[in-house]
Amino acid sequence: MCCRSGYTQEGKGFMKPYPDEIRFLRQAKYLNEAGYTILMYDFRNHGESALGTIPWVTWGVDEAKDVVAAVDYIATHTDYKDASIGLLSICMGQGAATTAFGLEQGLRGYTNLKCMISIQPLDYPTFISAMGLPGFLARSTSKVIHKRTGIDFEACSWVPNVKDISVPTLVIQNENDAYLDRSFVDAYYDNLTVEKEMLWIRIPKKKSAFANRAAAYVWLGENPDAILRWFGKYV
């Protein structure tokens, strides 16, 4: 749905999930103006990146390797190897980052990784439940995904890796997100074993379910205070 620069209506068909463009460059701009160097990248199978080992989105399972690769790139780069690193992890990127902490050679091995901001955590089973799909349709969809990817999305959640997150984490969630399962977000926050903070925001409701979720990503570009405060504390 999105790439490193955000969301655009181009290629989304007649029914646009969100009425405007979402520009991730807005948060890149204010972070850069605050003195941070920004690495923005597409996961494989997204944006301008090449195909991954599986030519499908895997809800963080395969994308976690790209998060590790991005952190490794910075951590070993001649100009930045001594720099502190913070993750701004949005939606599925948040799930990929959480999975990356649980990998055997994952993010826990990078001592210069100092913090994370987790935007609207949501795993696949919770997403399907929140959509309210009939059971037969959800099962049918999962079978197709399993056949394409070899991954059982219903059984493969990043939730068990929350305990592996090893850096201070700020969680941001829109109370009017149409896909919100408050008990899921609360459990995610409760299972964090690091210094943490929960920021609930309330954005007026939009016309569609996706728009109510995406509104938080627009908010992210327009409200730098919480992001700059958290990064300023640790990075």
**C-alpha separations of 101 from 11, 20, 50, 181, 227 in Å:** 33, 33, 24, 23, 21
Place 186 in a pLDDT band, splitting at 50, 70 and 90: very high
What is the length of the chain?
Answer: 235
- Rg of the chain over CA atoms, in angstroms? 17
2 is a domain residue: no
Domain boundaries, position 143: 18-229
What is the pLDDT at residue 146?
85
Helix, strand or coil, per DSSP, at residue 121: coil
61 is a domain residue: yes
Question: In this predicted structure, which of 113-117, 173-177, 209-213 has the lowest mean pLDDT?
Answer: 209-213
221 is a domain residue: yes
235 is a domain residue: no
Question: In this predicted structure, which of 31-45, 105-119, 131-145, 158-172 has the lowest mean pLDDT?
Answer: 131-145
What is the pLDDT at residue 125?
87
When divided into structural domains, the chain yields a total of: 1
What is the pLDDT at residue 112?
96
Helix, strand or coil, per DSSP, at residue 52: coil
5 is a domain residue: no
Residue 174 falls in which region: left (phi positive, over 0), alpha (psi -120 to 50) or beta: beta
163 is a domain residue: yes
Q: What is the pLDDT of residues 35-78, one digit of tens each?
A: 999 999 988 876 676 777 777 777 788 899 999 999 999 999 99
What is the pLDDT at residue 136?
83
What DSSP line would sit under 22-34, residue for residue?
Answer: EETHHHHHHHHHT
Q: Is the pLDDT of residue 85 over 80?
A: yes
CB atoms within 10 A of CB 129: 14
Which has more pLDDT, 205 or 59?
205
165 is a domain residue: yes
Place 19 in a pLDDT band, splitting at 50, 70 and 90: low
The model carries a pTM of 0.89
153 is a domain residue: yes
What is the pLDDT at residue 160?
94
What's the one-letter identity of residue 144? V
Q: Residue 26 sits in a domain of what CATH number? A: 3.40.50.1820
